[in-house]
Homo-oligomer: A and B are copies of this chain.
Amino acid sequence: MRGDDAPARRPAARRATMKDIARHAGVSESAVSFALNDRPGVSEATRARVRRVAEQMGWRPSAAARTLSGEGSSTVGLVVARPADTLDVDSFFLHLVSGIQEGLADRHLALLFQMVEDVEAECEVYRRWWAEHRVDGVLVVDPRVDDPRPPLLDSLGLPAAVIGGLPGEHRDGLSTVWADDADAMGALVARLHELGHRRIAHVAGLPGLAHTERRIATLRAGAERLGLTGVRSLTTDYSDRQGAEATRRVLNSPDPPTALVYDNDVMAVAGVAAASALGFSVPADLSVIAWEDSALCRMVRPCLSALGRDTVAFGRTAARALLALLDGEPARTVPVPVPRLVERESTGPAPGSSGV
């Protein structure tokens, strides 16, 4: 094949240096340094000429030089600690990252992104990034019960915004962007109750994640308040496979639920297919609701009722909360709107009920 033996170019060979600019502008290197660093020592005419030449040559101060001069790395970090195969078809992260980028674009900050297997590896990345001055701050996702990350970030002194944390959880240098999942789950149970559903199963996400535990606790509290006894939660790894398995388990139980709530869209779609294979028709025999509305919910038949939120805006808000910290503002809790239920074809009255 042509060019297989083409020589590799030496990286950085063509980037303009202060020396190049000095040669082109016909001045000394130190004159270039004075001119570009806004220091006295050159005439205004020389300063203007040097700047013009530097601009023509595409010169910019290197990120490294700015970091060493104390201006920060102009980079924030995001580490996602989930096994790669559970991210399959997960629209949440792409939307979140898209929003984060929008928020960072205001200041031309770059995003350093890393996927790791578990939270221990995530902590190790924070230690390394911070020690190596790679980031000015980080965005933390998937807050956990007994989360080791806030105390670590606190001890490192690494500024952070926690996405989906609880209000009041913030510490010095650690802001929290708070989505009220509990409120959303309460509203959802009330709506299913109104439709006549008395037995509800909740196919939850990863155990140990703060929002998983919060949804489970709120569902239980809501059920107690309404006097419902046939309510249960099962945790999964968010995959379509475990979503389908949990569905089969509850539908094969002696007193199967008439409504199923799934912690993501992927499991809800897999659950509908599993239910249908067992002879349950949606929504005649079974109502289904997905957390996290997406194109997937709108594409399948029946279209899925889902809890919708603006995940892009969520990411943007988180980025801005981190920027505020980096600007020296105090740590704070920033609430985002409660997700709301978008009813489509997969929800209806419980079988034999007159609910509306």
Residues of chain A at the chain B interface (Cβ within 8 Å)? 1-16, 58-65, 67-68, 72-73, 75, 84, 87-91, 93-95, 97-98, 101, 108, 110-115, 127-134, 136-137, 155-159, 167-168, 170-173, 239-240, 266, 269-270, 273, 276, 294-296, 298-301, 312, 325-326, 328-333
Nearest CB of B to A70, in Å: 8
> Are A157 and B101 in contact, with the CB atoms below 8 A?
no
> Are B110 and A111 in contact, with the CB atoms below 8 A?
no
Given A97-B115, A168-B1, A333-B1, does the pair A9, B295 have CB atoms closer than 8 Å? Answer: no
- Listed from nearest, the 8 A-B pairs whose CB atoms lie closest are A64-B67, A9-B173, A14-B157, A84-B98, A62-B133, A64-B64, A113-B113, A60-B131
> Are B12 and A157 in contact, with the CB atoms below 8 A?
yes
Nearest CB of B to A298, in Å: 7
> Are B331 and A6 in contact, with the CB atoms below 8 A?
yes
Given A111-B114, A137-B11, A239-B295, does the pair A132, B62 have CB atoms closer than 8 Å? Answer: yes
Residues of B near A131 (CB, < 8 A) are 15-16, 58-60
Nearest CB of B to A91, in Å: 5
Residues of B near A115 (CB, < 8 A) are 97-98, 101
CA distance A155 to B13 in the complex (A): 11
Given A2-B168, A168-B3, does the pair A157, B15 have CB atoms closer than 8 Å? Answer: yes
CA distance A172 to B97 in the complex (A): 33
Nearest CB of B to A195, in Å: 25
- Besides A3-B172, A6-B171, 7 new A-B residue pairs in contact (Cβ under 8 A), listed by A number: A10-B328, A13-B157, A15-B130, A61-B132, A87-B98, A88-B95, A273-B300
Nearest CB of B to A275, in Å: 11
> Are B95 and A84 in contact, with the CB atoms below 8 A?
yes
Nearest CB of B to A266, in Å: 6
CA distance A355 to B342 in the complex (A): 44
> Are B299 and A72 in contact, with the CB atoms below 8 A?
no
Name the one of B64, B89, B110, B171 contacting A63, with C-beta atoms under 8 angstroms.
B64
28 A–B contacts from the bound complex (CB under 8 Å): A1-B168, A4-B330, A4-B332, A8-B159, A9-B157, A12-B72, A14-B155, A15-B157, A62-B68, A62-B133, A63-B67, A63-B73, A63-B133, A63-B134, A64-B67, A64-B133, A87-B98, A88-B91, A88-B94, A88-B95, A89-B91, A90-B94, A94-B94, A108-B128, A110-B129, A239-B295, A269-B296, A273-B300
CA distance A276 to B303 in the complex (A): 13
CA distance A326 to B11 in the complex (A): 7
Given A89-B91, A101-B115, does the pair A172, B7 have CB atoms closer than 8 Å? Answer: yes
CA distance A13 to B156 in the complex (A): 9
CA distance A175 to B113 in the complex (A): 23
Residues of B near A95 (CB, < 8 A) are 84, 88
